[in-house]
Amino acid sequence: MSNNSLTGSIPSEVGNLRNLVELDLSQNKLFGEIPSSLGSCASLERLHLEGNKLGGTIPESLKDLRGIEELDLSSNNMSGEIPEFLSKLRDLKYLNLSFNDFEGEVSGEGIFSNASAVSIIGNDKLCGGIPDLHLPSCSKKKKEKPLNLKVIISVTIAVVFAIAILCSVVIFCMTNSKAPPSEDRHVGMSYSEIVKSTNGFSAENLIGSGSFGSVYKGTLSDDGKMVAIKVMNLQQRGASKSFIDECDALRSIRHRNLLRIITACSTIDHQGNDFKCLVFEFMANGSLDKWLHPRADKQDQTKRLSFIQRLNIAIDIASALDYLHHYCETPIVHCDLKPSNVLLDEDMTAHVGDFGLATFLLESSNNPSKSEAISVVLKGSIGYIPPEYGLNDQVSALGDVYSFGILLLEMFTGRRPTDDMFKHDLSIHKFVAMALPEHAIDVIDPTMLDEETADDETNEEKAIITNSNAQGNASRTQECVVSAMRIGVSCSSSSPGERLAMSSVVNKLHDIRDSFLRSKSSRWKKYE
């Protein structure tokens, strides 16, 4: 919209364009102030407003444009000091503030340290900055009139008294409360630090890869802690948005069954190309996918999950989704639940990760047009996407419930929803539904009962589950397996209205585990 004769002020509604990458309103006749709502355009990379009659100051909200690369406000009537946050925008490569009425000291950091990347000529009240900007040095402030002696004494006494009280409060707090663990916070990492921690993104450190990037194992230089570093493939369309969406989701959530982010990095590499990555806590036991579908090599063949381990993992995943759907300040839909996005720590506790497609639920419900657009471009993963999304229905928590149901069936059958056997009108949902309850033993994953499983209880589980003539405890345990599969069938119903809420799923899975553990306890007592 540049080089026209547009008049009036820039509407505040421009802040609703969350996916806007470039806005060029240069060389028009716009006046008024830059709307603070522009700071909501999180995807904005290029903003050109030069050659207008805009006044006022640079709004503080523009500090939220973390991905901004070009900012041109030249040839306007803007005034005030140049805000400090402009020197902290890491992706900013071009800044033109020339021919305005800015005043005050110019920073020597960030983009202001590169005279070829910034232009501030035509602002006679500016001073300081690096020598290459050829600005006058900033004069010292004139000495103030000496204060009255009585005033100085009174103020000094008040300050000393306030400091004494503050010290007492600090000492009391330090002796009566524990400081939060230092691992909960970590300063931002530079590109050089990322390269060093991954040994130059070596193939040996590559953990996995997806459509939007690759994950590397890394080691923090300060404390030697192992981390997982997700490097975004910015050549892939949608990767930058995925990075922003994941940051937006992760910064507002915290739960024991969600993958914890340590820090993020958005900068340029040594060749001057954009670079973005996320640093997560390292999960020693890898993804659930590798446990459910081990490769042919010897190392992976040792991975076996017993029934109770699978049940515990299912509870962890359900608890994470229940938190996202019902206990976040703004409910979140994950939109891409699958085994490879569930990671296991050293204690085999499950953590749900990869929020690159996550959607804030209130945002969807309050803006039907945006909700529809999200559904249309939703990629997700084949086999786990709820059928209603293919009909352009809105993203909803019930979509996550469907994905969880498919995942639950996969966990207990050992078959992917994309298995070759599932074609024509046969799906994993129908495959299990037809087998329940009498033929449940025919469809469960045989490795769950394998004698070589890492769980010492597996042989007992196998004896109980497979012995259809056993009395009491045997039938109780078989009921547990069938009950778990029925939850998967219910959650993966093609009709959203027939699916369970995640809060109900969590309660039912806990009941199944309690029943299973009680049957084991009574069995041991019998042989004592």
Active-site residues: which are they?
A: 336
Picking from 272, 260, 251, the residue whose alpha carbon sits closest to that of residue 320 is 260
What CA–CA distance (Å, rounded) separates 101 from 95?
16
230 is in an annotated binding site: yes
Distance CA 269, CA 277 (A): 11
Q: In Å, what is the CA distance from 69 to each residue of 9, 100, 113?
A: 24, 21, 16
How many Cα atoms are found within 13 Å in the side-chain-facing hemisphere of 458?
18
H/E element, 95: strand 94-96
Three-class secondary structure of residue 119 per DSSP: strand
- Cα 88 from chain centroid (whole Å): 22
* Residue 342 to residue 288: CA distance in whole angstroms: 6
Strands 101-106, 125-128: pairing is: parallel
List the structure tokens of 97.
């503030």
Query: How crowded is residue 29: how many other Cβ atoms within 10 Å of its Cβ?
Result: 12
Place of tokens 């006022």: 56
Structure tokens at 429: 């949902």
Decide: 342 and 313 in contact? Cβ < 8 Å: yes
Cα-based distances in Å from 424 to 350, 407, 435, 442: 33, 21, 18, 21
Work out the angle between the directed axes of helices 473-491 and 307-326 (0-180°, nearest 10): 40
Name residue, tokens 């040792």.
302
| Spacing of C-alpha 528 from chain mean position | 50
Decide: 277 and 287 in contact? Cβ < 8 Å. no
Q: Which residues are annotated as a binding site for ATP?
A: 230
